[in-house]
Amino acid sequence: MILGIIEHSEGQVSKLSLEMLHFGRGLAASTGKPLNAVIIGADAGSLVGQIADHGVDTVYTIEDARLTDYAPDAWAQAVAGMVGSHSPEAVIACGSEIGNEIMARIGARLDLPMAANALEVETGENYSMTRVRWGGSLLEEATLTASTKLLTVAQHAFEPAETGSGMPKVEAVSADINDADLVVRVVNRIVPEQDGISLTDAPIVVSGGRGVGSADGFASIVELAGMVGGAVGCSRAVTNNGWRPHSDQVGQTGARVAPNLYIACGISGASQHISGCAGSKAILVINNDKEAPILAKADYAVIGDLHEVVPAVIAEIKKRKG
């Protein structure tokens, strides 16, 4: 089997997990093995319905009253135990911080190599794969040689897609988790204040960079985002200056977004920023430098001062909305 690890938090399976299952279906088809999944948590069984219709044959639920929230070593121990008992051909997880963390810990426990951020895999005795490296600025061709292949799936490379496969079979599995596996665990969550839609779910992201010039300069970016039903993003230059909170940052060390439209205002296009927005369906650049590197990624561009262009766009939207 191909075994996918389902990421979830606060009773919600992540969208990245559904992307990962899409990738997993391809892997299952090319190996002729079923795609199964494992859900770990105090109430894992209640989440099974959220992955119905995503091509999963059997879901293994590992329930333990102590696993009320994410605990990387405990999750890794649970999956490592399943590698021993169920001998999957491959274990796959999301290429998120959590997915990569769990997989690295599984690899360490089983003394197996792991490959992070896979885009394409040619199966066989060894897996030949293309994977994303250096925050998305290069693609690497690699070969994974291992008795059980451990890999994570590049974020936003696949869409979550329903197959109509219906409810998977459910099988409870026990795990040998001890107290030492629970030393690192989430004990509290502080949700940042947020007006409106979240950055990672927004269909439009209006993002500002150093070119915005100040915290006050973001007023027009915030206004535009509100008018188009979008969220505000920013570059690291902005968070370093304290103009916006880190939760708004897009990029290698911030959020990865894949909106229908990404509007980049006063952002130069460093690879560490692009890795966070490269999955956008379209990119509109507003920049006063016609040589700015981000123009190479732009579907649309306005060369001009954002302090003139953004207010003009707002005025035009207001005019059209009457």
Sites of contact with ligand FAD (CB under 6 A): 209-211, 235-237, 249-254, 266-268, 270, 272-273, 276, 286-289, 292, 305-307
User: Least distance to ligand FAD from the beta carbon of 84, Å?
Assistant: 37
Instruction: Quote the least distance from Cβ 140 to ligand FAD, whole Å.
Output: 18
* Residue number, 44 or 265, with CB nearest to ligand FAD: 265
DSSP string, 155-182: TTSS--------PPEEEE------GGGG
| Residues paired with 36 in a beta bridge | 3
Residue with Cβ nearer ligand FAD (22 or 273): 273
CA distance 184 to 70: 9
CB of 276 to ligand FAD, least distance (A): 6
Name the residue number minimizing CB distance to ligand FAD: 251
Q: Which is nearer to ligand FAD, 200 or 249 (CB)?
A: 249
What tokens were used for 289? Answer: 């430098």
Q: Is 301 exposed, middle or buried (0-12, 13-18, 19+ CB in 10 A)?
A: middle
Distance CA 249, CA 265 (A): 14
In the block, residue with structure tokens 């920013």 = 234
Q: Can you name the residues that pair with 210 across neighbouring β-strands?
A: none
Q: Which residues contact 126 (CB under 8 A, 6 or more apart)?
A: 143, 144, 145
C-beta of 16 vs 67, nearer to ligand FAD: 16
Of 61 and 275, the one with the shorter C-beta distance to ligand FAD is: 275
Q: How far is the CB of 211 from ligand FAD (least distance, A)?
A: 3
Q: Considering the complex, what minimum distance in angstroms separates the CB of residue 218 from ligand FAD?
A: 12
Q: Residue 105 belongs to what H/E stretch?
A: helix 97-110
Is residue 208 within 8 Å of residue 221, measured between CB atoms? yes
Q: Kindly tell me which of 305 and 316 has the beta carbon lying closer to ligand FAD.
A: 305
Helix or strand (DSSP H, E) at 12: strand 12-13
Q: What are the structure tokens assigned to 259, written together?
A: 């909106």
What number of H helices and E strands is found in the chain?
7, 16
Q: Looking at beta carbons only, is 96 or 249 nearer to ligand FAD?
A: 249
Angle at 89 between CA 83 and CA 94, to 5 degrees: 80
The minimum distance between CB 198 and ligand FAD, in angstroms, equals: 17
Name the nearest CA neighbour of 108 among 21, 181, 3: 181
Nearer to ligand FAD, 18 or 202 (CB): 202
Beta carbon of residue 44, minimum distance to ligand FAD (angstroms, whole number): 32
Q: At its nearest, how many Å lie between ligand FAD and the CB of residue 241? A: 9
Are the CB atoms for 307 and 282 separated by under 8 Å?
Answer: no
